[in-house]
């Protein structure tokens, strides 16, 4: 992609409304623009990152045996009345009417629609277990949309729903999803914790959240410094405990001491049990030929929130430092004097073709600007590797490789192996 043609409106300063670093950088890097409170347009660079995360999520969900569907965003009131949630959801549920004054809502989640699908299409325990997912836009009229796409009103979620014949089978699927979420977050190269969450009436360890650790996280979590123990302090607050007394105390599991950290909830897995299936009368025939209520689980990942969370964890004073797996482009060819020197223009295009042919995603900065402006933009948008073609190329046929992480080397342009070396372990 030629940078001169890319819709990339970078900004020197972040607009005042942006409070946290990811929101500032997403605006400055030309990834998103606000349309209304909590509602954003994704620009080409932002969308590329969003799609990369989406694809990692999709690949791992498919590998786990889950099946992808696409449910409607607009949902009829009648389904929500069956679970009492038309009332219960309160003002977060955006209600709309069609031209016949029939009531609908914009889907904040899809338990009702999916349970309706399964109860009308699955008859026997033999067809189970099923784990059905989608990657789709949700709408929640959040009381306080903030931090850009971190807490939006319209946002992209991967939501999965499992249907199991009994509790043991639900637990199996739950564990499979737990492992799948680990794989996803590892591929995204994020530092995360699995945290015991508020599971309401269900109790026990029926619900866990995946938190990306970051100073700007909205949640406060208590974690042990030497074991897996981690709990959302929301749970403790509900039980009337005093969080401050936990700091530096021995972990309740007997291993290590407690530290209080901030986390961004990027995923939530939940053993719902029979609650939705009972209220919506979702049954299958069991081995004995009798109607038996389905056991359900639900598993969400905030795909758009993950973009912001990744930036919160990967940035410096110059801008974003993308983990390789989700960088919008792998390489930026920074051509200095592109407009003035034919040799430079020609060599950078040749390199562009060569690298693209090798499977890399490449930007070519063919703009009239000088080295300073070009490098500033490249560092702001976080491209992992810059290849600088300028004076040294004219004089000695050499290029400079400069990684976003700070390594740099001068190499003959013919020595393309050095580029391969850079990506070898990534």
- Beta carbon nearer to ligand ATP, 157 or 194: 157
181: exposed, middle or buried (C-beta count within 10 Å: 0-12, 13-18, 19+)?
Answer: buried
Q: Which backbone phi and psi does 194 adopt, to 5 degrees? A: -95, 125
Q: How many Cβ atoms from other residues are within 10 Å of residue 425's Cβ?
A: 6
- Beta carbon nearer to ligand ATP, 140 or 374: 140
The mark string for 301-320 relative to ligand ATP (x by CB under 6 A, - otherwise) is -x-xx---------------
Closest distance between ligand ATP and the C-beta of residue 146, in Å?
A: 9
Whole-angstrom distance, CA of residue 115 vs CA of residue 86: 16
Closest distance between ligand ATP and the C-beta of residue 356, in Å?
A: 34
Closest distance between ligand ATP and the C-beta of residue 265, in Å?
A: 5
* The residue to which tokens 């959302």 are assigned: 232
Q: Which backbone phi and psi does 157 adopt, to 5 degrees? A: -125, 145
Evaluate the CA torsion angle 64, 66, 72, 78 in order and state its sign: negative
- Beta carbon nearer to ligand ATP, 151 or 404: 151
Residue showing the smallest CB distance to ligand ATP in the complex: 302
Closest distance between ligand ATP and the C-beta of residue 69, in Å?
A: 17
* The residue to which tokens 């009492």 are assigned: 84
110 binds ligand ATP (CB under 6 A): no
| Strand-strand pairing, 258-273 and 95-97 | unpaired
Closest distance between ligand ATP and the C-beta of residue 190, in Å?
A: 13
Whole-angstrom distance, CA of residue 91 vs CA of residue 411: 60
Beta strands in 47-87 (DSSP E): 67-68, 74-76
Whole-angstrom distance, CA of residue 366 vs CA of residue 389: 11
Closest distance between ligand ATP and the C-beta of residue 108, in Å?
A: 8
Count of residues in the chain: 426
Binding-site residue total for ligand ATP (CB under 6 A)? 15
- Beta carbon nearer to ligand ATP, 142 or 400: 142
Contact region with ligand ATP (CB under 6 A), list: 172-180, 259-267, 287-295, 347-355 = 259-267
Residues 317-376 that bind ligand ATP (CB under 6 A): none
- Beta carbon nearer to ligand ATP, 129 or 152: 152
The mark string for 150-169 relative to ligand ATP (x by CB under 6 A, - otherwise) is -xx--x-x------------
142 binds ligand ATP (CB under 6 A): yes
Q: Please, how many CA atoms are within 13 Å of residue 251, restricted to the half-sphere of its CB?
A: 19
Rg (CA), the chain: 25
Q: How far is CA 8 from the centre of its chain?
A: 22
- Beta carbon nearer to ligand ATP, 80 or 352: 80
Closest distance between ligand ATP and the C-beta of residue 70, in Å?
A: 17
* Buried/exposed code over 65-85 (b: 16+ C-beta within 10 A; e: otherwise): ebeeeebeeebbeebbeebeb
Q: Report yes or no: 8 and 381 within 8 Å, Cβ to Cβ.
A: yes
The mark string for 263-292 relative to ligand ATP (x by CB under 6 A, - otherwise) is --xxxx------------------------
Contact region with ligand ATP (CB under 6 A), list: 54-62, 75-83, 260-268, 340-348 = 260-268
- Beta carbon nearer to ligand ATP, 53 or 334: 53
Residues engaged in binding ligand ATP (CB under 6 A):
109, 140, 142, 151-152, 155, 157, 265-268, 300, 302, 304-305
């Amino acid at each position: 992609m030629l940078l001169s043609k890319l819709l990339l409106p970078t900004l020197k300063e972040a607009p005042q409304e942006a409070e946290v670093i990811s929101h500032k950088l997403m605006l400055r890097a030309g990834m998103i623009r606000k349309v209304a409170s909590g509602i954003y347009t994704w620009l080409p660079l932002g969308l590329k990152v969003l799609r990369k995360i989406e694809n990692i999520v999709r690949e791992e969900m498919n590998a786990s045996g889950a099946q992808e569907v696409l449910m409607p965003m607009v949902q009829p009131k009648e389904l929500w009345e069956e679970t009492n949630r038309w009332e219960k959801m309160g003002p977060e549920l955006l209600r709309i009417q069609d031209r016949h004054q029939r009531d609908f809502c914009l889907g904040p989640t899809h338990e009702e629609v999916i349970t309706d699908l399964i109860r009308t299409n699955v008859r026997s325990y033999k067809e189970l277990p099923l784990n059905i997912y989608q990657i789709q836009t949700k709408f929640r009229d959040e009381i306080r949309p903030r931090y850009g796409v971190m807490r939006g009103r319209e946002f992209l979620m991967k939501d999965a729903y499992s249907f199991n014949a009994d509790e043991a089978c639900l637990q199996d699927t739950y564990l499979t999803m737990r492992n799948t979420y680990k794989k996803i977050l590892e591929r995204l190269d994020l530092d995360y914790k699995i945290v015991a969450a508020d599971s309401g009436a269900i109790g026990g360890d029926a619900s866990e959240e995946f938190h990306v650790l970051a100073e700007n996280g909205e949640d406060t979590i208590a974690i042990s410094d030497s074991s897996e123990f981690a709990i959302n302090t929301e749970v403790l607050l509900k039980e009337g405990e005093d969080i401050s007394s936990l700091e530096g105390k021995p972990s309740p599991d007997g291993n290590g001491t407690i530290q209080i950290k901030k986390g961004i909830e990027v995923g939530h897995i939940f053993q719902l049990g029979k609650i939705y299936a009972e209220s919506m009368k979702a049954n299958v025939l069991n081995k004995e030929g009798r109607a038996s209520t389905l056991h359900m689980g639900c598993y969400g990942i905030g795909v758009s929130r993950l973009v912001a969370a990744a930036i919160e964890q990967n940035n410096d004073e110059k801008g974003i430092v993308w983990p390789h797996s989700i960088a919008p482009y792998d390489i930026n060819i920074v051509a200095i004097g592109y407009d003035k020197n034919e040799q430079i223009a020609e060599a950078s295009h040749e390199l562009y073709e060569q690298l693209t042919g090798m499977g890399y995603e490449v930007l070519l900065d063919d703009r009239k600007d000088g080295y300073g402006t070009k490098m500033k933009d490249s560092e702001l948008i976080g491209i992992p590797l810059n290849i600088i073609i300028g004076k040294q190329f004219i004089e000695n046929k050499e290029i400079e490789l400069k990684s976003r992480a700070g390594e740099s080397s001068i190499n003959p342009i013919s020595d393309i192996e050095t580029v391969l070396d850079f990506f070898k372990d990534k």
